[in-house]
Amino acid sequence: MTTEHLLDDRPRVPLCTMANKVPEVTAYFWIIKVLTTGMGETASDLLARLLGPVPAVGLGGLALALSLAVQFAVRRYVAWVYWTAVVMVSVFGTMAADVLHVGLGVPYTLSTPFFLVVLAAVFALWYAVERTLSIHGIRTRRREVFYWAAVLATFALGTAAGDLTATIGLGYLGSVVLFAVAICLPAVAHRGGVLSAVPAFWTAYVITRPLGASLADWMAVGHTRGGLGLGLAPVTLAWTAAIACFVGYLAVSRRDTSALDAA
């Protein structure tokens, strides 16, 4: 699902206060998105192990607030600023789901539908106010707030859903296969005319979270848990390096801004 497939749902914004703050949706977008979800999963677990759950949540919340402050301060899409914010949302979104389960004892069978309701509420309020959920119109402060609220909710939902499938018998590798198939369905439905561009995009966006998290967990956890046993720190560092390489390439090549510049 690329930018041209989403253009039909681009809203008509009569007054643009700033350039669109979201990158063009290309293959690079989806690759980096999956990488951020996996990195956020293992980084969250690593920080909780090294610092303890409470300090880790506090540090994650502070890093998220700072990254979003920078994102809101810039007037256009900047690759490293945007993707840093996504990484921090990934880390903190994972922590939010884990706190409910580990800290408060809320089972994934309850937290998953809870975060689904939260996401639905964000979308409902966003649409009621702006009459669109398209990512092509993130040109005002209010729409940017709605966008990042939705992003945070998708990460929390995806984390809970991924952990749910991993603990009900599928395991991490089984979850990878499940979500790899699931993420193809919105694109197929959109191409077949069954699903319009905007819901297809957001459905795929949600699924990237459990896909990346399940893959990273499978790489990191020990053999007794069905994983490769590579460890949290090596997987976190490797996925962080991959994110940095892709974002660095986009910052130089501007392959994710061509349609935005032309708009």
Check residue 1 and give its pLDDT. 53
260: confidence class by pLDDT, cuts 50, 70, 90: low
Check residue 17 and give its pLDDT. 55
106: closest CA among 163, 151, 43? 163
* CA distance linking residue 216 with residue 208, whole number of Å: 12
Check residue 54 and give its pLDDT. 82
Give this prediction's pTM.
Answer: 0.87
- Average pLDDT, stretch 3-25? 59
pLDDT at 13 over 50: no
Check residue 259 and give its pLDDT. 55
65: confidence class by pLDDT, cuts 50, 70, 90: very high
Structure-model confidence comparison of residues 18 and 99, the more confident one: 99
- Average pLDDT, stretch 12-35? 79
Q: pLDDT tens across 121-169, in order?
A: 999 999 999 999 988 888 899 999 999 999 988 888 887 887 788 778 7
pLDDT at 222 over 80: yes
What percentage of the chain exceeds 70 in pLDDT?
A: 90
- Average pLDDT, stretch 188-192? 94
